[in-house]
A and B are shown apart, each in its own frame.
Chain A
Amino acid sequence: MGRTLAEKVWDAHVVHRAGGEPDLLYVDLHLVHEVTSPQAFEGLRLAGRRVRRPDLTLATEDHNVPTIGIDLPIADPVSRTQVETLRRNCEEFGLVLHRMGEAEQGIVHIIGPQLGLTQPGMTVVCGDSHTSTHGAFGALAFGVGTSEVEHVLATQTLPMRPFRTMAVTVDGQLRPGVTAKDVVLAMIATIGTGGGQGYVIEYRGEAIRALSMEARMTICNMSIEAGARAGMVAPDETTFAYLKDRSHAPHGSDWDVALEAWRALGTDDDAVFDAEVVLRAEQIEPFVTWGTNPGQGLPLSASVPDPASFSDEGARNAAERALEYMGLTPGTPLRDIAVDTVFLGSCTNGRIEDLRAAAEVIRGRRVADGVRMLVVPGSMQVRAQAEYEGLDELFLEAGAEWRSAGCSMCLGMNPDQLAPGERSASTSNRNFEGRQGRGGRTHLVSPLVAAATAVTGRLSAPADLPQRVGV
């Protein structure tokens, strides 16, 4: 019987297999950041162990990075301690580290692909659930906990139980104004936040094939919000074109060898998935969340749901709690919801295409009075590219704030936070209670909806905006 993409990558990385035990998998790339690593290094030190493969390990500073004054020492002492601890650990264990403000620094899931380090058929792990992002290249990439970080540092392997496989096929063509973010939010609303549990999702179908690499990363990034451990897209010409000539991609004759291997990775025609979900691209509209988990979402054209309309008791209770936290009344059109803050950034939507799309909506328009818009590029390289294209000026002229690279308001570990009761439209991936600051209320949106919302001050799509004057 044929094998799926995920199974092929898995099989090629088994170091040890024995009945009853998990497979021992080799890790091709281990990404490290300051939040989930200190205790892992502490563990190594306590046991007198070394990092087995510093040359397959890369560290960056992202979660705590202040996005203003990135060249100054961090004011918050605890944030500073985490960053300094990572620096000491990288020095002690001989790891490559991209420090804040440096040209290659950025959110861990943005810089791996950007450097060409994430390649088809690889296994990639990081102490961060959104490691699923890297699956867009046809890599098997998943988040791990701190003990597993220590395990990979010490052995370059991980004991893993095989995943089940799920195909999410998006047939047809997306309508204009509908983005990868809308696709994944719609997918999560369809299968639920636990629907992907225990699975690796492979995204397939015409609409997925038509997406750019960056858009595929957005989709794979949020696989974890459906409960899946990883998301993948089979590598194709789009993947190869993205990788070609990146600094860590294979060069010369190595490229040809690699290409041949990559082309053989796709799921075999006779392979069988353990579960299949089909979405119709034409039916997907701009999507926003109304609740406190990423599955509580609806098309922007809908209204806040009535908890009584949920037949499942758990879902009904969850909706009630969510609406109370979010300060929303059933029946309110989603388009009537006013926001205080718009956040454009994160490993979901902080890449150059995201900034371009939002900038195009903002161009010649103004951020509504009383609304603050934060634009936080996902990496310093994205920031430099955006500045080269003049996008920073478009945002600044519109009244938005232009920041340095980091996770920022995605999780509010740095000073970029919502105040209690404040409401945001955010291109990040989690709308959990307090995620963006205690008491903060988050609506997850695409970069296009974020930009249009900044202009009107209410959840909006670009199509809702009046024509620009004089442009």
Chain B
Amino acid sequence: MERFTVHTGTAVPLRRSNVDTDQIIPAEYLKRVTRTGFEDGLFAAWRKDPGFVLNRPEYSGASILVAGTDFGTGSSREHAVWALHDHGFRAVVSPRFGDIFRGNAGKSGLLTACVEQEVVERLWATVEAEPTTPVTVDLVARRVSAGGVAAPFEVDDYARWRLLEGLDDIGLTLRHVDQIELFEATRPSQLPRTVPVDG
């Protein structure tokens, strides 16, 4: 996983709240079996509208998404994170995120930064007034800044540590394989197994 420390790029203002993962990437894109190449599915329904913010040339190449509250609710599809990532986003800024989405994001190196609604409003105003404004998301200092806006953001400590270190989850867990074995040795024997039962 790529490390995330400080990232500077331009930002897209997405003036919508409750953007569920069905909107981020519709179900039809979930049929793929690969792990990359999902950028064409990102906001697919909305992108049919030439006026949709992501279609506007002034926001092409942006790497930070500034969205309304409750971003990434709904379906657990991790493809939503991959689509954002494959499109080139490194961070999403919003007042609140769907739980599963936030968990998924951290695993793919996409930062989800929680800020006050008022900060989102000011970021929107800033990048709408001047789309080329550089926006900096500083994970070390937990701060987001752009033009005259500078504000702290919240991020789970553990997710932050892993992003900073670029650490893979499974590798972390396998450091405790002895404890897993110990736990397995004491599990009650009547617990079910999925292998077919006879008779």
If A159-B173, A432-B22, A432-B74 touch, whether A96 touches B158 (CB-CB below 8 Å) is no
Q: Mark A145-170, 1 if CB is under 8 A from B, else 0.
A: 11110110011110101000000000
Nearest CB of chain B from residue A447's CB, rounded to whole Å: 23
* Given contacts A145-B100, A248-B192, A432 and B33 within 8 Å (CB-CB): no
- Decide yes or no whether A21 CB sits under 8 A from chain B: yes
Instruction: Determine whether the beta carbon of A435 is less than 8 Å from that of B22.
Output: yes
| Docked complex Cα distance between A194 and B18 (Å) | 9
The answer to whether A47 and B74 touch (CB under 8 A), given A29-B192, A55-B194, A79-B31, is no
Closest Cβ neighbor of B103 among chain A residues: A145
Does A58 touch B at the CB level, under 8 Å? yes
- The distance from the CB of A320 to the nearest CB of chain B, in whole angstroms, is 12
In the complex the two chains form, is A147's CB within 8 Å of B100's CB? no
Cβ B194 vs Cβ A318 within 8 A: no
Provide 20 A-B residue pairs closer than 8 Å at the C-beta atoms, listed in order of the A residue.
A16-B179, A24-B179, A38-B32, A39-B33, A39-B34, A129-B100, A144-B100, A145-B104, A146-B104, A147-B78, A148-B107, A156-B180, A194-B73, A227-B98, A293-B20, A314-B68, A318-B18, A413-B28, A433-B45, A435-B27
Find chain A residues with CB under 8 A from B17 CB: 314, 317-318
CB of A109, distance to nearest CB on chain B (Å): 13
Contact at A155–B174, with CB atoms within 8 Å? yes
Tell me the residues in window 20-47 of chain B with beta carbons closer than 8 Å to chain A beta carbons: 20, 22-23, 26-28, 30-35, 45
B76 is contacted by which of A16, A36, A49, A157 (Cβ under 8 Å)?
A: A36
Q: Tell me the residues in window 138-195 of chain A with beta carbons closer than 8 Å to chain B beta carbons.
A: 143-148, 150-151, 154-157, 159, 161, 193-194
**Does A250 lie at the interface of the complex (its beta carbon under 8 Å from any beta carbon of B)?**
yes
Q: Which B78-128 residues sit within 8 Å CB-CB of chain A?
A: 78-79, 81, 96, 98-100, 103-104, 107-108
Known contacts A55-B195, A56-B194, A161-B156: does B22 contact A433 (CB below 8 Å)?
yes
Partner of A247, one of B30, B187, B197: B197
Q: What 6 new A-B contacts, CB under 8 Å, besides A81-B33, A157-B173, A434-B26?
A: A15-B179, A15-B180, A56-B194, A128-B76, A148-B107, A257-B190
* Chain A to chain B: the 9 pairs with minimum beta-carbon distance, closest first: A38-B33, A254-B190, A145-B104, A145-B78, A78-B31, A147-B107, A58-B194, A146-B78, A129-B76
B33–A85 contact, CB under 8 A? yes
| Contacting residue for B170 out of A21, A22, A56, A155, CB 8 A | A155
The answer to the question of A20 belonging to the interface, with a C-beta cut-off of 8 Å to chain B, is yes
Which one of A114-122, A207-215, A448-456 contacts B? A114-122
Find the A residue at minimum CB distance from B117. Answer: A314
* Whole-angstrom CA separation of A64 from B33 in the bound complex: 13
Given A21-B158, A79-B31, A434-B45; A151-B173 close (CB under 8 Å): yes
Output the nearest chain B residue to A199 by Cβ-Cβ distance: B99
B105, closest chain A residue (CB)? A145
Chain A min CB distance to B97 (Å): 9
Contacts A22-B158, A411-B27 hold; do A15 and B74 have CB atoms under 8 A apart? Answer: no
Question: How many B residues face the partner with a CB closer than 8 A?
Answer: 59
CB pair B192 A117 closer than 8 Å? yes
Q: CB within 8 Å of B: which residues of A?
A: 15-16, 20-22, 24, 26, 28-29, 35-36, 38-39, 42-43, 47, 49, 52, 54-58, 63-64, 78-79, 81-82, 85, 96, 116-117, 119, 122, 127-129, 143-148, 150-151, 154-157, 159, 161, 193-194, 197-198, 227, 229, 247-250, 254-255, 257-258, 261, 293, 314, 317-318, 411-413, 430, 432-435, 438
**In the complex the two chains form, is B104's CB within 8 Å of A24's CB?**
no
B168-199 vs A, CB cutoff 8 Å, 1 = contact: the mask equals 01101110110110011001111111111100
CB distance from B182 to the nearest CB of A (A): 8
Which B residues are CB-close (under 8 A) to A254? 189-190
Q: Across the two chains, which residue of chain B brings its CB closest to A37?
A: B33
CA distance A52 to B28 in the complex (A): 31
Q: Which residues of A contact B180 (CB under 8 A)?
A: 15, 24, 26, 52, 155-157
CA–CA, A26 to B182, complex, Å?
11
Measured CA separation A147–B169 after assembly (Å): 9
User: Are B194 and A413 in contact, CB atoms less than 8 angstroms apart?
Assistant: no
